[in-house]
Structure 1
Amino acid sequence: MKKLLTIIVGILALCLLLVCGEYALNHRGNTGGHRVLTIYNWGDYIDPALISKFEKRTGYKVDYETFDSNESMLTKLRQGGTNYDLVIPSEYTVQRMKKEGLVARLDHQKLPNLRYIDRQFLNRSFDRGNEYSVPYFWGTLGIIYNDQKINAGAVQHWEQLWSPRLKNNVMLIDSARDVFAIALITQHQSVNTKDFTKLKRAQGHLKALTPNVKAIVADEMKMYMEQDEAAIGVTYSGDAREMMDVNHHLHYVVPSEGSNIWFDNMVIPKRAQNKAAAYAFINFMLAPANAAQNARYVGYATPNWAAKKRLSKKITSNQAFYPPQKTMRHLHTYHDLPLKTLGEYNDLFLEFKMFAK
């Protein structure tokens, strides 16, 4: 009996070794044929059908996690608890990640579909030569307004937000960089200024806006604008599209004198365990049919010229979301500013928020 138990234990141990060996084979690094791709992206920022399509086509299993801000994503990457294979940061965060050595340099030979990205969205100041990043979506900061409460001519420019006619009718996005950008642009200053004197002057201009400020909010703006709670909101183009889909009295404007143009980008972290899968996924998402499908689902502007041709004219001819070149020339990306300067933006913005209550 004892001998039989020994044999059974031996067989079980052998089975366990085989199972563990197979698991290790399927879950170790690239050299071992790692089949899991771990993606870290913004919430609801990809068509789930594309993930399934990628898995079926390539045999990779996608482990998909989400974050709600560039800052929280950066914190997690710095801690190194999870080795993400692909991350989708915004442009100024790409700069920060490069400085901190968190991203891997890209091999463009492995990304033949990069040719489908419109040249105007390549070689931007935050990543010259796209050595570390590939454009995913882009958009703008602008004004959404309700035509039941205000006419279009009253909201074509940032300075019009200061009109006494808009008392208690303007909702601002809860973002220091975005709100200060509005004031800086109206004062013909750079949205990336590091000059504290100019920031104080911009803060003074914002304080003059406070009688018109109904609220300073984040995602709640969607609900308020959809339910006709305010005449005007300062928001992002993608969020504006969501609101407009719900309330057809809403319209979006990008002031021609200038605004922020932002880019979310695909990058491969330096600690990625499965870079082969990351390259495969980037190339898959750059394929025109897939990029077009994703743009229809997400509602943001695609940087993919071939995908854009697959979208309806109703979408691509809408200058609020695909602005004309005369407006594009006046759009600016945010730079990754020194921590001291970012602290000044945040402190001055907090003072403004307290003053606006």
Structure 2
Amino acid sequence: MKKFIIAIVVLLAICAGLGLGSHELTKSTGDSSSKVLNLYNWGDYIDPSLLTKFQKETGYHVNVETFDSNEAMYTKIKQGGTNYDLTVPSDYMVQKMKADHMLIPLDKSKLTGMSHYGASFMNKSFDPGNRYSIPYFWGTLGIIYNDKYIKPGELTHWDQLWHSKYRNDIMLIDSARDIMGFSLISQGHSVNTTNTKELIAAKNKLNRLSPNVKAVVADEIKMYMAEGEAPIAVDWSGEATEMMSQNAHLHYVVPTEGSNMWFDNLVIPKTAKHFKAIYAFLNFMNKPENAAQNAKYIGYSTPNTDAYKLLPKSVRDNKQFYPPKQVLDKLEVYSNLSAKKVQQYNDLYLEFKMHH
């Protein structure tokens, strides 16, 4: 998931809606009652009214705790002392947690509604056969532009960002894999390359982008773009949806030569205790009407094809958020790289930021 600020207000709203106080929330993972589900999720990443609906339908009480990065989630579960029943890692983190024996395989005999998911969103490289994961949301990395300054159709390639006419015009999301990634794509390389020469060339090309970069920012990029602080941004599709809902002049483009396609996924960590509640929740979220409601609330793309059919026509017809097959075929999912290579990506990215 591509959010970096924990939505405390929404979290408290969830608590209020479910009759939880903040004290109960903080001790939720110690609750071993059989009628609870302990969900460890990104901030503001589920419609609170769905949790209320789930509790009313099943009697299972949902405790929610949030994290703000895959790495923070991984570390907390790895350290032990938690009772999380479900969590929501991104693609490469599913791969890492699986390799580190931190996940429990799905019992497919207890799952219903898996046929609602589109074939193109299943059986991905990070979890062949979906042995451990169910797709939750997906999206892309792309370019957001403000039509007050940029003509529609003017920006369709990553390489165009380097044009001198965009001096001091671009905001970048603060993410090493993503920013290194679009530079790699612009040079015809994979976002998962481990070739040091290619990585250094990507960083050097980013250095040449510096005059055009107004700022490298985290979650506040949404506010800046919504308020018209910059003509262009590089960010994720879900964040773009939020910006566009606040400013009608904003548009989102996936460059034609390709980009990253990311997945967030529901998995069962080894800390899980409440298996009846887990499968009740997974089956509840698999239902098209619930997945569609969640997609409307979150604004990210749903992998549930039957839920997609229930979305407003304006959403279904938006090819930037539900791209056609020829675009999907050019998108790459991040692989879980070795710790050494992750460090190299991070170091080179930091060098670019310091250069900027």
Taking structure 1 as the reference length, what is the TM-score of the superposition? 0.90
2:155 is the counterpart of 1:155: yes
Q: Which residue of 2 aligns with 1:276?
A: 276
Instruction: Please give the alpha-carbon distance, in whole angstroms, between the structure 2 residues aligned to 1:275 and 1:355.
Output: 50
- Cα displacement (A) at 1:99: 0.7
Q: Which residue of 1 aligns with 2:146?
A: 146
Q: Which is helix-richer, 1 or 2?
A: 1
Q: Which residue of 1 aligns with 2:12?
A: none
Instruction: Please give the alpha-carbon distance, in whole angstroms, between the structure 1 residues aligned to 2:124 and 2:242.
Output: 27
Q: Which residue of 1 aligns with 2:191?
A: 191
Aligned counterparts, 1:1-357, within 5 A:
28=32, 34-356=34-356
Q: Deviations over 1:7-27 (max 9, x none)?
A: xxxxxxxxxxxxxxxxxxxx6
Instruction: Please give the alpha-carbon distance, in whole angstroms, between the structure 1 residues aligned to 2:77 and 2:59.
Output: 26
- Cα displacement (A) at 1:28: 4.4
Secondary structure in 2 matching 1:208: helix
Secondary structure in 2 matching 1:112: coil
- Cα displacement (A) at 1:170: 0.6
Residues 274/203 of structure 1: CA separation in 2 closer, same or farther (3 Å cut): same
Instruction: Please give the alpha-carbon distance, in whole angstroms, between the structure 1 residues aligned to 2:342 and 2:260.
Output: 17
Instruction: Please give the alpha-carbon distance, in whole angstroms, between the structure 2 residues aligned to 1:290 and 1:259.
Output: 29
CA contact (8 A) 1:117 1:305 kept: yes
- Cα displacement (A) at 1:175: 0.5
- Cα displacement (A) at 1:80: 1.1
Name stretches of at least 5 consecutive residues in structure 1 with no aligned partner. Answer: 1-26
Secondary structure in 1 matching 2:113: helix
Instruction: Please give the alpha-carbon distance, in whole angstroms, between the structure 2 residues aligned to 1:64 and 1:153.
Output: 42
Secondary structure in 2 matching 1:251: strand
CA contact (8 A) 2:222 2:243 kept: yes
- Structure 1's consecutive aligned runs of 4 or more residues displaced over 6 angstroms after TM superposition are none
- Cα displacement (A) at 1:151: 1.1
Name stretches of at least 5 consecutive residues in structure 2 with no aligned partner. Answer: 1-30
Q: Which one has the largest radius of gyration?
A: 1
1:83 partner letter: N
CA contact (8 A) 2:103 2:270 kept: yes
- Cα displacement (A) at 1:153: 2.7
Instruction: Please give the alpha-carbon distance, in whole angstroms, between the structure 2 residues aligned to 1:300 and 1:97.
Output: 24
Instruction: Please give the alpha-carbon distance, in whole angstroms, between the structure 1 residues aligned to 2:100 and 2:289.
Output: 35
Instruction: Please give the alpha-carbon distance, in whole angstroms, between the structure 2 residues aligned to 1:264 and 1:74.
Output: 14
CA contact (8 A) 1:104 1:268 kept: yes
Instruction: Please give the alpha-carbon distance, in whole angstroms, between the structure 2 residues aligned to 1:83 and 1:112.
Output: 25
Q: Which residue of 2 aligns with 1:19?
A: none
Instruction: Please give the alpha-carbon distance, in whole angstroms, between the structure 1 residues aligned to 2:32 and 2:151.
Output: 60
Percent identical: 56
CA contact (8 A) 2:146 2:250 kept: yes
Once superposed, what is the RMSD of the aligned Cα atoms?
0.9
Instruction: Please give the alpha-carbon distance, in whole angstroms, between the structure 1 residues aligned to 2:202 and 2:306.
Output: 41
Q: Deviations over 1:157-216 (max 9, x none)?
A: 100000000000011110110001111101111100111111001111111101100000
Secondary structure in 2 matching 1:143: strand
1:82 partner letter: T
- Cα displacement (A) at 1:107: 1.1
Aligned residues: 326
